[in-house]
Chains A and B, each alone.
Chain A
Amino acid sequence: MEEKIKAKVMDARKIKRAMERMSTEILERNRELKNLVIVGIRTRGIYLGKRIAQLIAQAEKVKIPVGVLDITLYRDDFLELEAQHMVQKTEIDFSIDNKDVLLVDDVLFTGRTIRAAMDSLFDLGRARTIQLLVLIDRGHRELPIRADYVGKFLPTSKRERVQVHLEEVDGVDEVLITEPTEIE
């Protein structure tokens, strides 16, 4: 199916501003920075997580460890998927026991990815707290989940798609709203 671009809602400058604001909010809320660890959800959550770690390092000279979480094995729609998703590695080479875990993803939508990510984290250890950071909150939640840090609230219709593109993966920083075009 073809996708038609309806709007570009964020560019590189706006994404940078949002990330800076969120890193400040994180610093305000987490007095014990040494206890903070970042876990990015594949794929784009990893790079957003790394950017936050970098911003915190610049501001406070503290190195926050960043891990990578693949949630494929924890999906609740696993047995209904038409084709298997390629599983990729979870790479968290630090213990999350008693840590304040900052979970990072690009878009918060139904909340099911976050549910899967939390289940996965529970199997990896007992975090003291889990906080959630997302670049875009597009609404339409199906589970009682909300984010602690939000780059931008973006009301959308269910038909639309929100595409976050990041320099590290896509060569450009931008957030687009697209819609599938009907083919007659």
Chain B
Amino acid sequence: MIFNHKHLLGINQLTPEEIMTILDTAESFLEVSRREIKKVPTLRGRTIVNLFFEPSTRTRSSFELAAKRLSADILNFNLLASSVVKGESLKDTILNLEAMNIDALIVRHSASGAPHFISSFCKSHVINAGDGTHEHPTQALLDAFTLRQEKKHFSGLKIVIVGDLLHSRVARSNIILLRKLGAKVVGCGPPSLVPPEFKSLGMEINYNLDEAVERADAIMMLRLQLERQKKNFFPSLREYITHFSLTPQRFKRAKKEAIIMHPGPINRCVELSADLADSVHSVILKQVENGVAVRMAILYLLLGGKDRDATD
């Protein structure tokens, strides 16, 4: 068995073999999710806490369903109704939850590195569900699972990632993962949001979307994080759309069987045209379905079996 981690903090910590183990395991759980009785008794008696310090629909409900389908108990931590609003520190919050004998913490936090910090002192398994602008490993894994479903392999694929790479933890995790598996990654967006430093992750950059999508196998559109755009990274939304929105015309330059991916939530008519989002090329809802299976696989691989001597 080639998976011996206590925490899932980032794609960075995983080897290509471990990534494949997660994807293979997720295949079995996709089958469970499609049954009439979508539940197996595997993690009965384990307690998992969803600790989301930032809003989320997909990731939080996806983890919640994953835990429930494995028969684990899950506690949804409600930030607004918690003592965090009274000024309790992150460390104290965690220590108190741990005192209630939990087994795993799924953490989303606006500070990059928060899950790493938590894993440094707590006994439970820690799963990073998105930290600041750093990593979002489960999203990258479900994207890889979807890509493998559609394309069967990774090596030599041309994947274009379009939009705000600078603020995107999804992009960072995806670039690291796709490079580990031998795909070619091209980043595209306004230079202010796709700085040249990204090349150090092993990707190419092309600031012209028409050129970037040429002969692409998959195009990943990132959400334009409108809430983070107050610092004028580009002159106007209309100008951004003119240059970086995926239109049917632009999409024609990609390979005939190319797919369109998006981690959600979509800003329709900003990142991509509504017809494309609903077209047969779009695998956006498959990504959502696969998300539950991939998260079940991760919970299974981390929490299954006796407490082992993990490598981290």
Binding site for B on A (CB under 8 A): 70, 72-74, 78-91, 119-120, 123-125
Contact = CB atoms under 8 A, between A and B. Distances in A.
A124 B301 CA distance: 24
B304 interface: yes
Given A74-B41, A119-B41, A123-B39, 16 more contacts: A73-B40, A78-B42, A80-B306, A81-B306, A82-B305, A83-B305, A83-B308, A84-B1, A86-B24, A86-B25, A87-B25, A87-B29, A88-B28, A89-B27, A123-B35, A125-B36
B227 interface: no
5 contacts: A80-B306, A83-B1, A83-B308, A84-B3, A91-B31
Contacts of A119: 41
A73 B40 CA distance: 6
B308 A82 contact: yes
Interface residues of B, number: 24
Interface of B: 1, 3, 21, 24-25, 27-29, 31-32, 35-37, 39-42, 45, 300-301, 304-306, 308
B305 A81 contact: yes
Nearest to A91: B31
B60 to A, nearest CB: 24
Nearest to A76: B41
Contact of B40 (A74, A88, A91): A74
Contact of B31 (A78, A90, A125): A90
A95 B258 CA distance: 35
Contacts of A89: 27-28, 31
A73 B3 CA distance: 17
Interface core residue of A78, A80, A85, A119 (most chain B CB under 10 Å) = A78
Nearest to A89: B28
A86 B301 CA distance: 9
A127 B24 CA distance: 29
Nearest to B41: A74
B304 A86 contact: no
A72 B27 CA distance: 14
Nearest to B45: A79
Nearest to A116: B41
Contacts of B3: 84
Contacts of B41: 73-74, 119
B300 A87 contact: yes
Contacts of A74: 40-42
A125 B40 CA distance: 14
A80 B307 CA distance: 9
A72 B301 CA distance: 12
Given A73-B32, A73-B42, A86-B25, A123 B306 contact: no
B64 to A, nearest CB: 19
B37 A78 contact: no
A82 B32 CA distance: 24
A113 to B, nearest CB: 15
Nearest to A125: B36
A73 B296 CA distance: 12
A90 B28 contact: yes
A111 B35 CA distance: 26
Contacts of B1: 83-86
Contacts of B300: 73, 84, 87
Contacts of A70: 28
A84 B305 contact: yes
Nearest to B4: A83
A123 B71 CA distance: 13
Contacts of A78: 42, 304-305
A86 B1 CA distance: 7
A87 B1 CA distance: 11
A145 to B, nearest CB: 18
